[in-house]
Amino acid sequence: MRIYLSFLFLVLFGYSTFASSKTDSLLIVLKKELVKKKVYDDQKEARIKRFRNLLSKTPQTDYVKLYGLCSSLYEEYKVYQFDSAYVYTNKLLDLSHQLKDQSKEYDSKMKLGFILCSAGMFKQTFDCLNNINAAALSNDSKVEYYSLKARAYSDLADYDNDSYYTPYENAESVKYLDSAIRFCKPDSFDLLMQLGTRQLKTGDTKTPSKYLIRLLYNFNITTHQRARTATGLSLFYISDAQADERIQLLTIGAINDIRASIKETLAAFLLGQQLYQKGNMTDAYIFIQEAMNDAEYYGARLRKIKIGAVLPVVAAQKLILVEKEKNKVIVYLLSTTAVSALVLLVSFIIFIQLKRLKVKEKIIEEKNIQLEKINEKLGEDTRIKEEYIGYFFNVISGYILKLEKLKRSIDRKLVTKKYEDIQLTIDEINIKKERETLFYTFDHTFLKVFPNFITTFNSLFKKEDQIWPKDHEVLNTDLRIFALNRMGISDNETIASILEYSVKTIYVYKMRIKAKSIYPSDQFDHKLMAPNKS
């Protein structure tokens, strides 16, 4: 049977739902259908409105057509709303009298008996049915008649629920079921349903009804029939071990009741009771309340009494559960608040510490940048010193060699007393040329160390004030003064002695050139001494 239920569930609701817990998934489907309940009811109301419009346009003398339309309206109302169904059954009775058609009269009385039984009006039900001559009915009508009588006795037995009347009423119900079964067509819905119902009434519930299983598994039945079959089959699962199967079937019944806009329904109420027994108070209350709404809408007196006896108990348990949950939420909120306050306090302390740490990190970062600049400057100064030490070492070594050669030449000439040659040797020394050679060597060595000096220097001036060497020059005097500054030689007296100018001349040169710069004097010196980016 579990295999049949699984397959049925798979067919009805698809693979995605089947993959999860069947019971929980079915309850989810049922709740979704509850939300859509008005949609289904609106569809039924639209059909009813259409029949009413047709009825209003039909001539009052066309009894046959009127009878057919009233029958259609009865079918819409019979499990939807008692009062309206009652109105149209009375119209059917009137029309059957107008037609003088006894079969239609009996059919109308059975329709009246059905809604009276559904409303829990048993005396009126039996009074109505006892006015029908069963022998005059067709086989199909006999099935309907005996089934209805069996149901009336069964519902009455359920209502009395005692040891005196109930056994007799159940026996009468089985008797009429047997009569209905005799007239059922072979392998029909009515036959299998009556056989399954008979098993229930006789207590043959040790195993699930094979008849009802066949209806669910093999038959193409209507939504209403599926609801009836699933609800009836659920009553065979009576042990605690079969609770899940019972709930699944009742859920399927309730789903199909909603889809068919059935208000004269039992599935939702039984499902609510089962969920209550399992401790699911929230869902139990939802479905029992829904069953009460349906019973009130239809006008099912007996069902309202039954549900009314259970609903307050479930509501009280739900209220207790809500209070417990509320207390849990309060405790949770208080705990969460305390933890949140602690987290906020710790976060604030961490924030303050991080803020202090960021300030320190910023100071360290600034100091690191300063150290990097100092290291870069020191590295450049070291490279400059190394290059110029090498350069001047080579220059001085060259001059020492020249002096040594000159000394040896003069010594030889003094020994040989060639005094006139000594004067010639001295005259050969061209100081101006030597100085030009010195400047030439200096200029080339300097530009090797500072290849972008001239461009950088001129970027400190407007275009018309820039100083560029001529084609035959490497550096001119103006550039050479500031080249010496760039090397760290800023003393005017030292620069003057190197370039063979007066100190005042050097001062004037520097002031005149700085005055043309686009930067103030202090910024000019800073930019001039900026690290070499070549």
Q: Decide: 264 and 79 in contact? Cβ < 8 Å.
A: yes
Radius of gyration in angstroms for the set of CA atoms belonging to the chain, rounded to a whole number: 57
In a domain, 57, yes or no: yes
The letter for the amino acid at 26 is L
pLDDT for the residue numbered 17: 41
Q: Which two tokens stand for residue 403?
A: 């002096």
pLDDT for the residue numbered 186: 94
Q: Decide: 209 and 196 in contact? Cβ < 8 Å.
A: yes
My answer on whether 101 and 159 are in the same domain is: no
pLDDT for the residue numbered 262: 93
My answer on whether 92 and 141 are in the same domain is: no
Whole domain around residue 52: which residue ranges? Answer: 44-132
My answer on whether 517 and 441 are in the same domain is: yes
Task: From residue 188, give the alpha-carbon distance in Å to each of 93, 195, 304, 309, 512.
Answer: 29, 11, 33, 38, 122
Q: Which two tokens stand for residue 509?
A: 């040169």
> What residues are paired with 461 via a beta bridge?
517
**CATH assignment at residue 119:** 1.25.40
Q: Decide: 78 and 111 in contact? Cβ < 8 Å.
A: yes
How far apart are the C-alpha atoms of 79 and 10, rounded to whole Å? 28
In a domain, 370, yes or no: no
My answer on whether 69 and 159 are in the same domain is: no
My answer on whether 162 and 172 are in the same domain is: yes
My answer on whether 434 and 504 are in the same domain is: yes
In a domain, 457, yes or no: yes
Q: Which long-range contacts (CB under 8 A, 24 or more apart) does 454-458 make?
A: 454/479, 456/527, 456/528, 456/530, 457/482, 457/528
Per the structure, the count of domains in the chain is: 4
Q: Which two tokens stand for residue 334?
A: 């208080």
My answer on whether 71 and 156 are in the same domain is: no
H or E stretch including 39? helix 37-57
- Mark out the alpha helices in 469-520 (DSSP H runs): 477-486, 492-499, 503-515
My answer on whether 125 and 153 are in the same domain is: no
In a domain, 533, yes or no: no
pLDDT for the residue numbered 15: 38
Positive/negative CA dihedral, 411, 417, 418, 420: positive
Query: How much of the chain is in helix, strand and coil states, percent to nearest 5?
Result: 80, 0, 20
Secondary structure of residue 234 in the 3-state scheme: helix
Give, as one character, the DSSP assignment of residue 204.
Answer: -
Burial call 86-98: b when 16+ CB within 10 Å, e when fewer: bebbebbbebbee
Secondary structure of residue 80 in the 3-state scheme: coil
My answer on whether 486 and 504 are in the same domain is: yes
In a domain, 390, yes or no: no
DSSP one-letter string for 431-455:
HHHHHHHHHHHHHHHHHHH-TTHHH
pLDDT for the residue numbered 20: 43
Last residue of one domain, picked from the residues 299, 328, 354: 299
Burial call 460-488: b when 16+ CB within 10 Å, e when fewer: bbeeeeebeeeeeebbeeebbbbbbbbbe
Please count the other Cβ atoms lying within 10 Å of the Cβ belonging to residue 425: 14
**Helices 521-528/477-486 angle, 10° precision:** 80
Give 388's Cβ-side CA count (13 Å radius). 19
My answer on whether 443 and 521 are in the same domain is: yes
Q: Which two tokens stand for residue 242?
A: 């079969």
Last residue of one domain, picked from the residues 281, 299, 317: 299
Q: Which two tokens stand for residue 400?
A: 């020492």
In a domain, 255, yes or no: yes
Q: Which two tokens stand for residue 266?
A: 């039992």
My answer on whether 81 and 52 are in the same domain is: yes
My answer on whether 21 and 74 are in the same domain is: no
Give average pLDDT by consecutive 10-residue segment, the chain, 534 residues: 47 41 90 94 96 95 95 95 95 95 95 94 94 94 96 92 92 96 95 95 93 92 94 92 93 94 90 89 89 89 80 70 71 82 85 83 80 69 60 61 71 72 68 75 80 86 87 82 82 82 85 88 82 58
How far apart are the C-alpha atoms of 106 and 99, rounded to whole Å? 13
Give the angle subtended at the CA of 79 by the CAs of 32 and 234, to the nearest 5°. Answer: 60
Last residue of one domain, picked from the residues 117, 132, 147: 132
Q: Which two tokens stand for residue 208?
A: 């699930």
In a domain, 332, yes or no: no
How far apart are the C-alpha atoms of 56 and 77, rounded to whole Å? 17
In a domain, 369, yes or no: no
How far apart are the C-alpha atoms of 366 and 382, rounded to whole Å? 24
**Helices 82-99/63-77 angle, 10° precision:** 160
> What residues are paired with 32 via a beta bridge?
none
How far apart are the C-alpha atoms of 446 and 488, rounded to whole Å? 12
Straight-line distance from the first to the last Cα atom of the chain, in angstroms, rounded to the nearest whole number: 90
